[in-house]
Chains A and B, each alone.
Chain A
Amino acid sequence: MAVSCAETSPSAAADITDIGHCRGALPLPDGERVGVRRLGRSRGRFPLTPALSPTGRGSRPRVGRCIASIVSATIVTMALFSSSPSFAQDKAAAPRKFNIGRVATPQEISGWDIDVRPDGQGLPDGKGSVADGEEIYMAKCAACHGEFGEGAGRWPVLASGKGTLKSDDPVKTVGSYFPYAASVFDYVRHAMPFGDAQSLTNDELYAVTAYVLNLNDIVPEDFVLSKETFGNIKMPNAGGFYDDDRETAEKAFWNPKPCMSDCKPPVKVTARARVIDVTPEDAKGRPGAD
């Protein structure tokens, strides 16, 4: 704040340290040399406006006017209020209400409130069969996820993978990993088809979910999925999850006295990233390599 006005003269610095913003209102100089010659180097390079320095006197009177203009402007501003402004007070007891925003209507919410929970909350009206789902899936999903949910390229695999979760190559799919069918429906409803999100009708959502469940042998071929039948679905890995237990299972990581010296025998290199060689070969990643 004090950068410019405070520079006008050392003797004036003490009482003008808070008026730097006064200077912010000044126009830019026409020419640096003019400013320097008129006002002197110690004062900075921007000349004061004629309005603030009509007589071209020394810096102290100009600064005084600067303060005066702020004071008078403040008085005028305050006079415009019919009552004195005051700061809002914090009230500790009840949550504060700011009366900001407006009420969202049920109709407005309905278009965005598309989440579905495992208990069925949020499931829309409608239904869809495995057979109908196959048709939609082949047209809109199979290009990425494969005709049988096997995944094309690096796109997510949707089916198979049962019994792999303990292996070195776990395949996490709807059948092998997802604990809730609702997560599938909810996700497809939010984000699929990729690049054409939120374009499927509710019947299509039920149908495509039914087909993906059928690909995983979770529902039979003649199954029709709806709000009513959703609760019957049993996901194979429903019991495969438990809440974060790091604070007990990894309690040893809280160590009041970590070893500082001779903590282990001399170590050797056991693995090197360069052997795997999958780091992007970006030559411009190094200074001067342009």
Chain B
Amino acid sequence: MNEDASARLSRRRLLTGAVGLGAAGLGGAAMAGRALAGNADNLPPHVPEWTRTLGDGVGVRAYGQPSKFEKHVVRRDVQWLTASRESSVSFTPLHELDGIITPNGLCFERHHGGIAEIDPQDHRLIVHGLTDKALMLTLADLKRFPRVNRIHFLECAANSGMEWRGAQLNGCQYTHGMVHCVQYTGVPLKLILEEAGLKPNAKWILAEGADASAMTRSLPLAKALDDCLVATRMNGEMLRPEQGYPVRLVVPGWEGNMWVKWLRRLEVGDQPWQVREETSKYTDLLPDGRARRFTFVMDAKSVITSPSPQAPVAAKGFLVISGLAWSGRGTVRRVDVSLDGGRNWREAKIDGPVLDKACVRFYAETEWNGEELLLQSRAIDDTGYVQPTKDDLRKIRGTNSIYHNNGIQTWRVAPSGEVENVEVG
């Protein structure tokens, strides 16, 4: 988050004060909405209109789009968060998705100077600094290198940053939607650095974007040589403009701000650059007034995506609770789910791939008979790290740190099936 969003919360509280009406409207239609049928003439025993007429032929939809009935599945933003939409964020609609792969058009956006629309013919990547030679690469050059395919989550360091001082936004899209998980195709950064040749005193890399903010971040050389990619593709197709077309850095498990989009330059140096985004931003202010810096790794985290405030419970009876978990330290080993606000836990079932620094999908089954639920999930990764409660985090970090809020989320399921964002104690 460019702005100190959690700090703003206190001001908003003063402005709004009493119980709001907006949230009531959000949940009011919870169960009733599902009973509404569109057109009875399409229901049995009638023959529906899409059976009686021919549909579009091939070629009409040269680049396929989701059904017109899925128009509500979109990224959303929170306008009061930032001063402008060019330096702002939009959130992944996690509550509408399943599995582990985020569709390209739904991956959250975070821009600092708007979306750069780059003509790939005019894009260049320069590699220089403490190298044997300065290298100039075209996109065609990049595509000639050996490439690999890796599925990784990307989480903004400020994901859940608005929740430090308490439950604030009603929807996992807003509380947790600055994360996505796609398959990248790219060149190992190691190969590109070695093509230029590293000097013995090389220790850090500066990555720079070609957008209107010319985003820069310093990256330790050890990470650069370990698992970073210079990616051109996501989920098979070329990167979307919002995600850095035609070239972005992939820094698995580390905060999203470091995954520089529209990558135009890699400078090799012997110390960090201490740029604005790693000093005045993306540092974690603690209660003693000092701040942690270079907090690159995203700790283990999970969230129940359904039910959640935007995805209320549809019916009494059998209920599948579903969510996402991830860890920047490795793989997710286990996810536990609680129905009673963290008093009792049971292990959820992880279904689908369990990959290094990637999202996993978990499910827990229950029978729901209209009683109040306080749903929580906690991720445990293969280093033994257990996702902490929000209060455990606050005990150490206070409420001013904005970034790296991986505390356990609580959703309250009301007897009506409505779901709301709450804190418990």
Contact = CB atoms under 8 A, between A and B. Distances in A.
Interface of A: 95-98, 100-106, 108-109, 112-119, 121, 144, 153-156, 165-166, 168-170, 172, 174, 177-180, 182-184, 186-187, 190-191, 194-195, 197-198, 240-246, 249-250, 252-256, 258-290
A112 B136 contact: no
13 contacts: A98-B144, A100-B145, A103-B134, A103-B136, A105-B134, A112-B208, A165-B291, A178-B276, A241-B292, A244-B297, A268-B425, A273-B168, A286-B26
A100 B137 contact: yes
B267 A115 contact: yes
B61 interface: no
Interface in B148-181: 166-171, 173-174
A281 B384 CA distance: 40
- Which 7 pairs between the two chains have the least Cβ-Cβ distance? A277-B20, A274-B23, A95-B194, A267-B341, A273-B421, A187-B276, A104-B136
A172 B4 CA distance: 9
Given A113-B128, A197-B212, A179 B343 contact: no
A260 B285 contact: no
Contact of B170 (A174, A252, A274): A274
A290 B137 CA distance: 48
Contacts of A113: 128, 265, 267
A244 B340 contact: no
Given A194-B87, A274-B19, A286 B71 contact: no
B213 to A, nearest CB: 4
A17 to B, nearest CB: 24
B343 A262 contact: yes
Given A273-B170, A284-B72, A191 B212 contact: yes
Interface of B: 2-4, 7-10, 12-13, 16, 18-26, 29, 33-34, 36, 71-72, 76-80, 82-84, 86-87, 112-113, 126-128, 133-138, 141, 144-145, 166-171, 173-174, 191, 194-195, 197, 206, 208, 212-214, 216, 264-265, 267, 269, 271, 273-276, 279-280, 283, 285, 287-297, 299, 309-310, 336, 340-346, 374, 378, 380, 383-388, 392, 396, 399-400, 412, 420-425
A98 B195 contact: yes
A191 B273 contact: no
A263 B386 CA distance: 15
A260 B345 CA distance: 5
* Residue of B195, B295, B340 with most partner-chain A CB within 10 A: B195
Contacts, number: 316
A104 B83 contact: no
Contact of A244 (B12, B86, B267, B292): B292
Given A246-B295, A254-B386, A278-B12, A286 B283 contact: no
B72 A112 contact: no
Contacts of A191: 112-113, 212-214
Given A101-B136, A263-B342, A272 B274 contact: no
Given A194-B87, A263-B344, A280-B78, A109 B126 contact: yes
B342 to A, nearest CB: 6
A110 to B, nearest CB: 10
Contact of A117 (B16, B271, B387): B271
Nearest to A245: B292
Contacts of B174: 279-280
B408 to A, nearest CB: 11
B83 A276 contact: no
A241 to B, nearest CB: 5
A178 B291 CA distance: 11
Contacts of B126: 104, 108-109, 112
B136 A102 contact: yes
Nearest to A270: B425
Given A101-B141, A186-B275, A264-B342, A273 B289 contact: no
Nearest to A196: B212
A144 B378 CA distance: 42
A168 B251 CA distance: 33
A178 to B, nearest CB: 5
A253 B136 contact: no
B242 to A, nearest CB: 18
Given A108-B136, A109-B128, A240-B290, A279 B171 contact: yes
B20 A276 contact: yes
Nearest to B68: A290
B285 A271 contact: no
B380 A118 contact: no
Contact of A179 (B168, B194, B274, B299): B274
Contacts of A288: 33-34, 36
B72 A268 contact: no
A173 B174 CA distance: 27
